[in-house]
A and B are shown apart, each in its own frame.
Chain A
Amino acid sequence: MLHTLKPCEIQTGGFCFENTRRNAVLESSLSESGYKAPGARKTGTTIAGIVFKDGVILGADTRATDDMVVADKNCMKIHYIAPNIYCCGAGVAADADVTTQIMSSNVELHMLNTGRPALVTMVTRQLKQMLFRYQGQIGASLIVGGVDVTGPQLYSVYPHGSYDKLPFLTMGSGAAAAVSVFEDRFKPNMELEEAKQLVREAITAGIFCDLGSGSNVDLCIITEAGVEMLRGYDKPAMKGKREGQYRYKPGTTAVLTKTVTPFPLVVVDESVQIMDPE
């Protein structure tokens, strides 16, 4: 039936819920025949952040999974938000990407408006207000870290909109493995090298102990002086190189006896099939 009044209503942008009923019907009919509807690609991640003496270090693994299959072996989970603020994203990959891009644009507009460099609390506040507005339907868990005029700060924002401010944080499916390393060895006001090693070990714990995380370790070091992105800082899951040859030389085993038995074959039928050269 033609809905002739629909185009007369004012069209707004944003999310469109027209197809939800149709999708629900499709999913139920698919599950009846035994198929599964395609799902969103999650990152199945380990992300971690730590506050050290001069700033903040963010770390992440680089594997993106699609339900038990590795979709991307080297994806980038540390996103740029402002020159002094970076954000790691876990959860649904597309949601984390688009959310951080929207945040980055909003921060740039805000900086142009106020004429001041961005604060980490401002990013966290905008993030949590947006995520709460969508009631967790946007599945992005983020760790926001940066150095601004008030010092180095680290916040974690959950998909439903809650946030935490802590000296060390982990998120993602490998969070339990990574946070155990932090709980064991974290000290306040660590030096740069020590902090880098600690984050590397936490992410490596996530890579080895969690099926959803893997490949390399990425680090991002934010200090007042600037930002250093270390992509592929450590590759713990790389295949080891074989040190020696394990094949036996011909002639290693001595031949003791040799018996030859001829096997008579009778030609029963002979047919020729011409193959098409093309």
Chain B
Amino acid sequence: MCRNVNGTQPDIQVYPTESGRNGITMNTRGLRSQLKDSVPVAGLCPQGAYGVQDSLRSGFTSVKNELLPSHPLELSEKNFMLNQDKMNFSSLRNIQGLHAPLKLQMEYRAARQIQRLPFLQSSNLALDTLRGNDESIGFEDILNDPTQSEMMGEPHMMVEYKLGLM
């Protein structure tokens, strides 16, 4: 199994296991540990080169604005998909073994890479089918549809950002 060398967080964490009474090994850390590191703490790791706040690109810093979420649902909504996936993968790992979430994650990563050019909205058909989102309707389909957003974004800047030249 190849390791991810790009520095992104591994999706499956290794937790300590202990053998139960019947010799069955169980994960003792549970979900709490996974949920903890999914909450982003903005302001402590500013984006931009060298880890310093990039005023030209992200505006002036305001600690108050970044530390406290303005709406009680803001953080939980941002991490909702992430937390759901972690929960599902963890229970899948417990039931079927390590191979099941690994294979699924591989498919997710492959499907996530099928995109149009950086400033065009892609349909994400493969990703939706894998997730099961093509069979249900929620607020993400009704409100704030990205295909009908009023901002276009600058193609040159977005391509440079995607290619890492920026």
Contact = CB atoms under 8 A, between A and B. Distances in A.
Interface of A: 1-5, 7-8, 11-17, 20-21, 24, 98, 102, 105-106, 109-110, 113, 130, 133-135, 137
Contacts of A105: 137
A140 to B, nearest CB: 13
Given A5-B57, A15-B143, A16-B143, A21 B70 contact: yes
Contacts of A11: 121, 146, 149
Interface in B64-119: 65, 69-74, 76-77, 80, 118-119
B35 to A, nearest CB: 15
Given A7-B157, A13-B140, A14-B144, 4 more contacts: A17-B70, A24-B70, A109-B136, A110-B135
A179 to B, nearest CB: 31
Nearest to A98: B142
A125 to B, nearest CB: 13
Contact of A13 (B47, B71, B143): B143
Contacts of B69: 17
Nearest to B134: A109
B137 A106 contact: yes
A1 B60 contact: yes
12 contacts: A3-B57, A3-B58, A3-B59, A4-B57, A7-B153, A7-B154, A11-B149, A15-B139, A16-B144, A21-B65, A130-B138, A134-B73
Given A8-B153, A20-B74, A135-B76, A13 B141 contact: yes
Contact of A12 (B54, B140, B162): B140
B145 A13 contact: yes
B144 A13 contact: yes
Nearest to B141: A13
B165 to A, nearest CB: 12
Contact of A5 (B119, B151, B161): B161
A20 B157 contact: no
B158 interface: yes
B158 A8 contact: yes
Interface residues of B, number: 42
Contacts of A3: 57-59
Nearest to A112: B135
A8 B161 contact: yes
Contact of B142 (A4, A102, A135): A102
Nearest to A2: B59
B161 A17 contact: no
A11 B137 CA distance: 18
B112 to A, nearest CB: 10
A211 B97 CA distance: 59
Given A4-B157, A5-B161, A14 B59 contact: no
A98 B137 CA distance: 12
Most B CB atoms within 10 A — which of A2, A4, A130?
Answer: A4
Contacts of A2: 59
B137 A8 contact: no
A109 B140 contact: no
Task: Give the 10 A-B CB pairs with smallest separation, nearest first.
Answer: A7-B153, A1-B59, A14-B140, A13-B140, A11-B146, A20-B70, A20-B71, A8-B161, A17-B74, A17-B71
B80 A133 contact: yes
B127 to A, nearest CB: 11
A15 B70 contact: no
A29 B118 CA distance: 41
